[in-house]
Amino acid sequence: MRTALIVGLVAAAALSQAQIAQWNFNSNPADSSTGTGSITPSVGSGSLSLVGGATTSFQSGVGSSDPAAADNSAYNTLNYPAQSVGSGTAGVQFNVSTVGFLNIQVQFDRRHSATASRWVQLQYSTNGTTFVPFQNYEVSGTNVAMINGSSANLSSISGVNNNPNFAIRLVTIFGTVGSAGGSVYTSVGNTSTGPGGSTYGPAGTIRYDMVTVSGQPVPEPGTMAALGLGAAALLRRRRNK
């Protein structure tokens, strides 16, 4: 058992989490307006697209985890489906190759306006076309401030490792206060515990910033060999005791 623990610690040290791609949505170079920005990744490479009829503009990202001291832009999505239509279909899609990486994780900051859906869902794809629901995120209370560090740990999904077709979607879904699902969107501004919420509207906005895909580099063959030799040496030493 002790040998396995030591080998595990050595392996973990060799495989620390690294950023694969990140979008900070800021203009590059910075300009004087948060109403402009960029959809080119600020770290790594990948592409971004809109799904289900959503549209976007750039808006201020102030309050997000973006360390930019000035000109912090965010990706402001709107034109979501009408009430009771299209749960899980509209939002934004990020395509990022995970070739060379495993234990994939996703992190993002978000800000829902009062009339937006209080629920978003992260979906993942291993082929770029079929998307699988993975995790739901609600807004707490009627909070319309930036919510930083929403995350998904996809390390249990081996199919997303080392995959050139990996993609995620962040889409709005039906849900009531405290419970995803059902047949209606519930707005952030709806303070009742019942379904619906007369304030929900397609013009409600969900603003994203610091969308980050990270993973652990797949060990080089040399590293694997060294780990294997280390394990073998430890096992030998243990057997000789």
Residue number with CB closer to Ca ion (66 or 138): 66
Residue number with CB closer to Ca ion (58 or 124): 58
User: Helix, strand, coil % (nearest 5) of the chain?
Assistant: 15, 35, 50
Pick the stretch among 46-54, 62-70, 90-98, 119-127 that binds Ca ion (CB under 5 A). Answer: 62-70
Is 136 exposed, middle or buried (CB count within 10 Å of its CB: 0-12, 13-18, 19+)? middle
Residue number with CB closer to Ca ion (58 or 131): 58
Asked if residue 24 binds Ca ion (CB under 5 A), the reply is: yes
Question: Rounded to the nearest whole angstrom, what is the least distance from the CB of residue 47 to Ca ion in the complex?
Answer: 18
- Say if CB 100 and CB 113 are below 8 A apart: no
132-138 and 167-172 strand pairing: unpaired
Asked if residue 107 binds Ca ion (CB under 5 A), the reply is: no
Asked if residue 66 binds Ca ion (CB under 5 A), the reply is: yes
What is the C-alpha to C-alpha distance for residues 112 and 219, in angstroms, rounded to an integer? 39
| Other C-beta atoms lying within 10 Å of the C-beta of residue 140 | 10
Asked if residue 209 binds Ca ion (CB under 5 A), the reply is: yes
Asked if residue 59 binds Ca ion (CB under 5 A), the reply is: no
Residue number with CB closer to Ca ion (76 or 115): 76
When binding is defined by CB under 5 A, the residue of 20, 23, 25, 120 that contacts Ca ion is 25
Asked if residue 61 binds Ca ion (CB under 5 A), the reply is: yes
Angle at 137 between CA 104 and CA 181, to 5 degrees: 120
Question: Rounded to the nearest whole angstrom, what is the least distance from the CB of residue 35 to Ca ion in the complex?
Answer: 13
What is the C-alpha to C-alpha distance for residues 70 and 30, in angstroms, rounded to an integer? 8
Beta bridge partners of 193: none
Asked if residue 109 binds Ca ion (CB under 5 A), the reply is: no
Pick the stretch among 91-99, 105-113, 163-171, 201-209 that binds Ca ion (CB under 5 A). Answer: 201-209
Find the length of the chain: 241
Q: Which residue's entry shows tokens 């950023």?
A: 19
User: In the structure encoding, which two tokens stand for residue 23, read together?
Assistant: 């979008």
Question: Rounded to the nearest whole angstrom, what is the least distance from the CB of residue 161 to Ca ion in the complex?
Answer: 28
- Interaction site with Ca ion (CB under 5 A): 24-26, 61, 66, 72, 209
